[in-house]
Chain A
Amino acid sequence: MKKILLIILPILLFAGTIPAITAAEILSKVDENMIAKTTKSTARMIVETRRATRTMSTVSYAKGNDIAYTEYTAPAREKGTKMLKIKDDLWLYDPSTDRVIQISGNMLKQSVMGSDLSYEDFMDEVELAKTYTATLQEDTVYDERSCYVLSLAAKTDNLAYSKRVIYVDKERLVPLYQELYAKSGKKLKTMRMSKVTKIKQRWYPMQVVFKDELKSGSGTTMIIDEVSFDIKIPDYYFSKAILRK
């Protein structure tokens, strides 16, 4: 009996201190939820400025996390504007001028359609587990959900945000809140995810509020009306030919 106790007791004692899941595993689970082989979504982007509130509608197609195509469908002024991202390149197409314009350099830091998102944010949809080293912090409760708190440090220098703090829903393993930091340590943006919905096997936030912390205003709300994963999308949707089509 003593021998059995000697074996079981240390296991019981250490069981309280060893986390059930590691930071890297949490990140991998988050990526599994957020990134699919292919994604099609229709969404609305609501931009609030001092002057007015505008709503834009989009249809987006994505392959993995580094190829994406978006077409603006409303309002009239933006209708037909297209955006194509292939790895590190980003192109815009404007139907009124029939021009395909590549976005690079300083322009990547500019706001997209007056929103709190920059073109760089579109370029920066990275696989977190591959690009950041995660450290688990003290758990917290956010939006009435028990969350892991992860501090992420970029593995390379070429990322738009060198540090992130991310609250991950313990049960559904989706991020509910993110803080994005510059290399200097300055907080640049925050993201608040909500309306987490189960779509097939994955949990997905259907509403995200982006807030540029360097700008006044209440932020930009992205509402995903419909989303489907791992569907067949023709290859030409992810080529420059789609822009003038």
Chain B
Amino acid sequence: MFLFVLKGLLRDRSRSFFPVLIVSAGVLVTVFLIAFMSGYLESMVRQNARFDTGHLKIVTNAYAEKLSQKPYDLGFIDSEAEFEQWKQDFPSVRWTPRIYFGALMDVPDAEGNTLEQGDVFGMAIDLWDPSAVQDIHLSEALVQGRIPQAPGEILLSEELFSKLKLELESTVTLLGSTLYGAMSFQNYIISGTVSFGVHALDRGGIVTDIKDARLFLDMEGGASEYFGFLPSGIYDDGEAQEIKREFNAKYNDEDDFAPVMLALTDQNDMGFMLRYAGFALGLITVIFILIISIVLWNAGLLNSIRRYGEFGLRLALGEHKGHLYRWLIIESLAIGVVGSLIGAALGIGVIQYFHVHGVNFAAFTQDTSMMVENVVYTTLELKNLLLGIIPGLVSTVLGAMLAGIGIFHRNTAKLFKELET
């Protein structure tokens, strides 16, 4: 019966062309939006995990209170033994220490006086641990020069490097404060430049080895944060929350400097963002269904007027109103299937293009501190296609159901009278 209906629709293109066009366009837009949003979210989670939150993070209670300020003066000191214990307690999680700090970078002239200055945001990682280097994709981010190979070497953001017209292997001085608030000065050699594709970091970031940062900030054996990454490499909130509960039950107490574990969704409003994104995806689907339903309802009404005689004749010949109504719905389902498949096929093409080339957001992220890659790639997943196709089918059926109600308002007794005209 479905094939029979489909054949009828294909032969009478005036019945199918416009609705198929609308459903295809709607499904195309929805599939692309869902794939884009999904890609955007994945980028945000990935970037936050790499640079800011980890999948899990251990900080002190006092640090957690002012987490967004990254107050390294409230971080851990002499915590190497504890860190080893935590690694033994949670061996499936890969742990790595980090220090984030702010400083003034001063470029000297030939006489050692200030020539240029710039504020920098420092990220110290264990540069001798290949996994820690890979975590932030440091090799890929390297624009020129080399990764530090000796103490006292740093990587500088390419943007700041160009702005200050510096040269590789030149010496700069960092001026900051130690953990205890004392003034701290340290000379560093710029071994290379980096661009992470994250504007917040590329504006004025430096990457240094954690041992150098400990020396600069007087944080012997310490870290401001210990990052943890789940074994799969993909964030799983359920798993992360379970590990967090176990850790905090064992180690957290009321002391200012007691360790406390945070999951990714506990930081940077990520929990809210992910919940909100789920809500937004649902909203897009509902809005799509409503708009397409209204358009198709309208198309169905126009179609009913055009097929007024046909329906009247069929009713006059004894076809039941319910049967005719169901027929219309099957017709709409056929339109929905064809339209959705065309829309999805076109969508795959568009998604595939942006999955490879991405959408460049650099112009929009210049003034934000959000951890999103400058280029966002759409995700090509079956569930995203289904999320677009299902509303395509629902909307066509809903549109036909609304338009077909008119059938029940036809008065069978007057049909021949109507058909005469």
Show the binding face of A for B, using Cβ within 8 Å. Answer: 47, 49-52, 54, 56, 77-78, 81, 92, 94, 96-102, 104-107, 110-115
Cβ proximity bits B158-185 to A, threshold 8 Å, 1 near / 0 not: 0000000000000001010111111101
Q: How large is the interface on B (under 10, 10 to 19, 20 to 34, 35 or more residues)?
A: 20 to 34
Residues of B near A99 (CB, < 8 A) are: 106, 108, 112, 173, 185, 187
CB of B188, distance to nearest CB on chain A (Å): 10
| Cross-chain contact B185 with A54 (CB below 8 angstroms) | no
CA distance A97 to B104 in the complex (A): 14
Q: Are B173 and A49 in contact (CB under 8 A)?
A: no
Which of B175, B178, B179 neighbours the largest number of chain A CB atoms within 10 Å of its CB?
A: B175
CA distance A107 to B175 in the complex (A): 10
Q: B149 contacts the other chain (Cβ, under 8 Å)?
A: no
Residues of B within 8 A of A105 (CB): 117
Given contacts A49-B73, A98-B112, whether A114 and B186 have CB atoms under 8 Å apart is: no
Please name the residue on chain B nearest to A56 by beta carbon.
Answer: B182
B177 A51 Cβ-Cβ under 8 A? no
CB distance from B199 to the nearest CB of A (A): 19
B113 at the interface (CB under 8 A from A): yes
Residue of B at shortest CB range from A77?
B182
- Give 19 pairs: A residue, B residue, CB < 8 Å, sorted on A: A47-B181, A49-B73, A49-B181, A50-B62, A51-B73, A51-B179, A51-B180, A94-B183, A94-B185, A97-B186, A99-B108, A101-B114, A102-B113, A102-B117, A107-B117, A112-B183, A113-B182, A114-B182, A115-B181
The residue among A54, A96, A99, A110 with the most chain B CB atoms within 10 A of its own CB is: A99
Given pairs A56-B182, A77-B178, 6 additional interface contacts (CB within 8 A): A47-B181, A50-B62, A77-B182, A94-B185, A99-B187, A110-B177
B189 on the interface (CB 8 Å rule)?
Answer: no
Name A's interface SS.
Answer: loop
**Known contacts A92-B183, A97-B185, A100-B112; A114/B177 CB under 8 A:** yes
Q: Tell me the minimal C-beta distance from A61 to chain B in angstroms.
A: 19
Q: Is B132's CB within 8 Å of the partner chain A?
A: no
Interface residues of B (CB under 8 A from A): 62, 73-74, 104, 106, 108, 112-114, 117, 119, 173, 175, 177-183, 185-187, 218, 256
A51 contacts across to B, CB distance below 8 A: 73-74, 179-180
CB distance from B260 to the nearest CB of A (A): 16
Which residues of A are found within 8 Å of B182, using beta-carbon distances?
54, 56, 77-78, 113-114
- Pick from A77, A101, A113, A115: contact of B173, CB below 8 A: A101
Q: A94 CA to B186 CA in the complex, in Å?
A: 9
Shortest beta-carbon distance from B217 to chain A in Å: 12
B residues within 8 A CB of A114? 73, 177-178, 180-182
Q: Specify which chain A residues have a CB less than 8 angstroms from the CB of B119 in the assembled complex.
A: 106-107
Nearest CB of B to A115, in Å: 7
Nearest CB of B to A146, in Å? 38
Whole-angstrom CA separation of A115 from B186 in the bound complex: 21
Q: How far is the CA of A112 from the CA of B74 in the complex (A)?
A: 18
Residue from B104, B177, B181 with most neighbouring chain A CB atoms (10 Å)? B181
Please state if B106 and A101 are interface contacts (CB–CB under 8 Å): yes
Interface centre among A52, A111, A114, by most chain B C-beta atoms within 10 angstroms, is A114
CA distance A64 to B33 in the complex (A): 67
Residue of A nearest to B256 (CB): A50
In the assembled complex, the CB of B203 is this many whole angstroms from the nearest CB of chain A, namely: 14
User: Shortest Cβ distance from A76 into chain B, in angstroms?
Assistant: 10
A202 to B55, CA, bound (A): 63
Instruction: Report yes or no: B185 in contact with A100, Cβ–Cβ below 8 A.
Output: no
Q: Is the CB of A96 within 8 A of B185?
A: yes
Residues of the B chain whose Cβ atoms lie less than 8 Å from the Cβ of A77: 178, 182, 218
Q: Which of B74, B114, B256 has the most CB of A within 10 A?
A: B114
Given A92-B175, A97-B173, A101-B173: A54 and B104 within 8 A (CB)? no
Q: Which residue of A has the minimal Cβ distance to B108?
A: A99
